[in-house]
Amino acid sequence: MRYSDRSGGLSARVRKQRQEVRLRAADMLAGNIKPLRVGRLLGVTRKSAYEWHRA
């Protein structure tokens, strides 16, 4: 079962790792790298990359 960061179930280490990926994605998106490419480079879903881009 997968847990979102907001619902608990993840260790502090895993939450920190996920936050680091989100911050890397934000930097890449700010550098005009397309969301699909960001997702591929970081190993996250296309949906996540586009959600981060929208945010």
- pTM beyond 0.85: no
- In this predicted model, what pLDDT tens digit does every residue of 4-53 receive, in sequence order? 556 567 888 988 999 999 999 999 999 999 999 999 999 999 999 999 99
Q: Which residue has the tokens 């930097």?
A: 27
> CA Rg, the chain, in Å?
12
CB-CB contact of 11 with 19 (8 Å): no
Predicted local distance difference test score (pLDDT) of residue 2: 54
List of long-range contacts for 48-54, beta carbons under 8 Å, 24+ apart: 49/25, 52/22, 52/25, 52/26, 53/29
Indicate the domain borders of the chain.
12-54
Amino acid letter for position 38 = V
